[in-house]
Amino acid sequence: MITVLRAGPLTTVQDLGRPGYAHLGVPRAGALDGPALRRANRLVGNVPEAAGLETTLLGCKLRFEEAATVAITGAVVTLKLDRQPVEGPVVRVPAGGVLEVGRAVRGVRSYLAVAGGIAVEPVLGSRSTDTLAGLGPERLTDGMTLPVGSQPDGSEPGGDIADPASPDVPGGELVLGIRLGPRDDWFEGRGLFVSAYAISPMSNRVGARLAGTALTRTRAGELLSEGVVLGAVQVPADGQPIIFLADHPTTGGYPVIGVVDDVTPLAQARPGTTVRFRDLD
């Protein structure tokens, strides 16, 4: 078992999500930075889809009731074991040891995998917390406990541990590839590609809100609700785009101007980060 001593502002259990249920109104959810979670699992010998913890900006503090092998990837953080600084990404924690994942100094979200995985009860085949639909385990709170599964026989930690940050945290301006449609004809010209946008502090696991030059609509009125997907760029009445992330709704009534091909970099993009779009068509 793991006891949560400090949960942090938003720490959740995440795996690779629950695809295949959008027709029931259930989004995929799952880790925002899937490659970082996969890497953490590989480093402790887990299968890629094992559940770990996703922290946000301020980390968390955990006590391990039994000895454990832990890996931390994603955002660059400081680590302390029993109040002493340690180097990651792989940490061997003794029974009763307290591991503190500190404030992110680069990036936003860190991923903590423990050998055996976080063994909370799955919902629709996934252990992910869906912050919009309310499915899966509750977000972590101080004092709660988390079960740890058994490591598969014959599995051992592996993978490159030389640089825990470089594969996971992009730097500088983000350029996101996008395919226009289905409602790009509701907007003037190619305004989406002219201006730079900034990530808004109002962003969360549901969507990355952008702030910049408002897109101008050429059509009045509203749409009936339509299906939306991961990476859909929805444009509400204020003209400021929203890029849907893992916990997005499965339908929406605002026009979707296009779909971003890979939203992974947004998992580590801090508020104020500059975003530009590149036309993939």
Closest by Cα among 46, 49, 17 to 31: 17
* Collapsed DSSP state (helix, strand, coil) of residue 87: coil
Residue 11 reports pLDDT greater than 70: yes
Q: How confident is the model at residue 221 (pLDDT cuts 50, 70, 90)?
A: confident
Residue 189 is predicted with a pLDDT of 82
* CATH 2.60.120 location in the chain: 2-146
**Six-digit token pair at 154?**
């014959």
* CATH 2.40.100.10 location in the chain: 174-279
What is the mean pLDDT of the segment spanning 183-201? 93
Looking at the DSSP bridge assignments, the partners of residue 75 are: none
Q: How far apart are CA 141 and CA 214, in angstroms?
A: 38
Helices (H) and strands (E) in the chain, counts: 2, 18
Residue 220 is predicted with a pLDDT of 86
Closest by Cα among 248, 177, 224 to 19: 248
Largest CA distance in the chain: 63
Residue 222 is predicted with a pLDDT of 84
| Residue recorded with tokens 């792989």 | 90
Residue 93 is predicted with a pLDDT of 98
Q: How far apart are CA 275 and CA 54, in angstroms?
A: 23
In this structure, the strands spanning 274-279 and 174-180 are: parallel
Q: How confident is the model at residue 151 (pLDDT cuts 50, 70, 90)?
A: confident
**Six-digit token pair at 225?**
């609700």
Residue 154 is predicted with a pLDDT of 57
**Six-digit token pair at 140?**
């972590």
* Collapsed DSSP state (helix, strand, coil) of residue 250: coil
Residue 166 is predicted with a pLDDT of 44
Q: How far apart are CA 22 and CA 14, in angstroms?
A: 18
Residue 163 is predicted with a pLDDT of 44
Q: How far apart are CA 66 and CA 115, in angstroms?
A: 12
- pLDDT (tens digit per residue) in 153-189: 655 665 555 444 445 566 679 999 999 999 999 999 8
Superfamily of 174-279 according to CATH? Cyclophilin-like (2.40.100.10)
- pLDDT (tens digit per residue) in 80-134: 999 999 998 999 999 999 999 999 999 999 999 999 999 999 999 999 999 999 9
Task: Tell me the CATH class for 2-146.
Answer: mainly beta
What is the mean pLDDT of the segment spanning 126-144? 97
pTM of the model: 0.94
Average pLDDT, the chain: 93
Question: If you count them, how many residues does the chain have?
Answer: 281
Residue 168 is predicted with a pLDDT of 58
Listed as own residue / partner, the contacts of 63-66 with beta carbons closer than 8 Å and 24 or more positions apart are: 63/2, 63/3, 63/5, 63/96, 63/97, 63/98, 63/99, 64/2, 64/93, 64/94, 64/95, 64/96, 64/97, 64/98, 64/99, 64/114, 65/1, 65/2, 65/3, 65/95, 65/96, 66/1, 66/95, 66/148
